C-alpha cells in the first residue's frame, strides 16, 4: 500500500514538474518574441516644391504626394516622421538632398501636414523619424 502511494506521489510530482517546465519555456519564448521598442532618430530636413519634376523612384512630383527624398534609403521605404507633436507617414520617392548636413527633403504635402505653407517657411528643421508606419 505504501509502495503504491509512493509511486502515485512520484507520478504527481513528475507531472507537476513537467507542467512547470513547459510553462516556463512558453513564457521565455513569449518574451523572446516581443516586438522591439520603437527607436526614433533625429534628422535635419529641408523642403522642395519642384512640382511636375521627375522623381528618381519614378513618377512626377505633385502637391499631394506624401513622400521624401533620401540619399541611401531604398525607394518605397516607409517612414514615420514627427515634428512638434504632429505625426506623418511618408514613403521614400526621390533621391537627395545633396546639401551637407541634411538628411531628408520633404515634398509639399509633408510640410503642409506639419503646418507650413511653403518650402521657404519650412527652410530646414530638425525632426524625428523611424522606419515603418508607427
Q: 90: closest CA among 67, 114, 60, 113?
A: 67
Given the C-alpha cell 522623381, which residue does it identify?
Answer: 55
Specify the DSSP class assigned to residue 64. T
What is the predicted pLDDT for the residue at 123? 94
Mean pLDDT of 28-55: 81
pLDDT for res 5: 65
Confidence of residue 114 (pLDDT cuts 50, 70, 90): very high
Residue spans per domain, the chain: 1-34, 41-131
Q: Provide DSSP, 55-72.
A: -TTSSB--TT--EEE-SS
Residue pointed to by grid coordinates 510530482: 13
The x, y and z cell numbers of residue 28, run together, are 521565455
- The mean pLDDT of 81-91, rounded to a whole number, is 96
- 41-131 adopts what CATH topology? Barwin-like endoglucanases (2.40.40)
Average pLDDT over residues 23-39: 63
Please give the model's pTM, rounded to 2 decimal places: 0.72
Amino acid at each position: 500500500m505504501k509502495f503504491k502511494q509512493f509511486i502515485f506521489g512520484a507520478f504527481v510530482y513528475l507531472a507537476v514538474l513537467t507542467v512547470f517546465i513547459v510553462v516556463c519555456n512558453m513564457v521565455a519564448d513569449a518574451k523572446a518574441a516581443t516586438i522591439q521598442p520603437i527607436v526614433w532618430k533625429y534628422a535635419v530636413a529641408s523642403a522642395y516644391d519642384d512640382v511636375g519634376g521627375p522623381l528618381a523612384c519614378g513618377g512626377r512630383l505633385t502637391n499631394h504626394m506624401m513622400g521624401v527624398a533620401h540619399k541611401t534609403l531604398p525607394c518605397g521605404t516607409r517612414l514615420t516622421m514627427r515634428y512638434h507633436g504632429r505625426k506623418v507617414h511618408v514613403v521614400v520617392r526621390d533621391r537627395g538632398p545633396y546639401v551637407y548636413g541634411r538628411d531628408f527633403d520633404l515634398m509639399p504635402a509633408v510640410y503642409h501636414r506639419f503646418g507650413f505653407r511653403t518650402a521657404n517657411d519650412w527652410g530646414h528643421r530638425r525632426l524625428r523619424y523611424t522606419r515603418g508606419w508607427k
